[in-house]
Amino acid sequence: MVQLTTMRADARPEDILEVLKRDGGLILENVLSNEQVAAVTREIMPYVEATTPGRDDFTGNLTTRTGALVARSPACRELVLNETIEALCELFLHPNCARHQLHLSQVIRIMPGQKAQAIHRDRWAWGTWLKDIEPQLNTIWAITNFTKENGATQVVPGSTRWPDKQQPTADEIGYAQMKAGSVLVYTGSLFHGGGENASNADRIGINITYTLGWLRQEENQYLSCPPDIAKGLDPKLQALIGYQMGSYALGYYTPPLPPGEGPEVVPPEFALGDKAAALAGEATLGTSDLRDSLRDGLRSSQAERNGGR
């Protein structure tokens, strides 16, 4: 059986990136203390216990999936903003975007008797149209111990370069076995799937994923964490869940106010009460480098059209 690389919690993001590019996934050991795991558990379990199981084989008839974690759990907000993961997002995603964003926050509880999930790629959330670009970075935080018996995530190291239709053989599949407080980090192109729970206890993990700022998020953060909740969050978290421009001209809106009673074009921060952002007007819709990127893109497009005539 293949093994995932395991690294220390204090590993340098650059070293993590090297393994991630090679294997597609790895484990960071003991990132959370026992006290932090306990705090997360206290906050999420009332919601988890009230969540109904999935309704098909993929979501799991004996699996629950609980979202809106940014709105519901202060302890989970700390996971979303983890400095190592944020630094890794900068290194891994920013070659293809100006900003990254939170894609999904979800507690996944695999209960006893649940069969293994089909092996898949998370990037298929956008179909298979994206080519030659990695759209996301994923984490699964172990809130209970992960073992092969209780449903540790199936992973296929090295599968990021496979064709979409390829499926692994049994000897190519490993298992993300790790202690509570550890984190599985993997790319959107890694073939993986929830494991079979043949134990008598739940396996609980928190799936927190990040994506390019110009792609639609799997979990609609504006509805999961609306402005009346988001306005009280750390500004870094506000931006990460989407209350910022994705790049120049991506994400602005017009407040639907009576004639003359409000601005016409404002960035998302305005919904949180950031009137200064609105008063700054069009300048808030993108930094100069983003505007330059837009200008260069338009010029390149025009040049291609002219060259094709």
- d(Cα 309, Cα 299) in Å, to the nearest integer? 16
User: How far, rounded to the nearest angstrom, does the alpha carbon of residue 155 sit from its chain's CA centroid?
Assistant: 17
**Which architecture characterizes domain 6-221 according to CATH?**
Sandwich (2.60)
- d(Cα 139, Cα 130) in Å, to the nearest integer? 21
List beta partners, residue 66: 107
Q: What is the pLDDT of residue 303?
A: 54
Q: What is the pLDDT of residue 42?
A: 98
| Average pLDDT for runs of 10 along the chain of length 309 | 94 98 98 98 98 94 98 98 98 96 98 97 95 95 98 98 95 97 98 98 98 96 96 96 90 91 89 70 47 53 52
> How is residue 90 annotated by DSSP?
H
The predicted-structure confidence for 70-129, as pLDDT tens digits, reads as follows: 999 999 999 999 999 999 999 999 999 999 999 999 999 999 999 999 999 999 999 999
Q: What is the pLDDT of residue 248?
A: 82
The domain ranges of the chain are 6-221, 247-307
From the list 242, 237, 240, 246, the residue with the least C-alpha distance to 287 is: 246
Query: Contact, 231 vs 276, CB < 8 A?
Result: no
Q: What is the pLDDT of residue 286?
A: 46
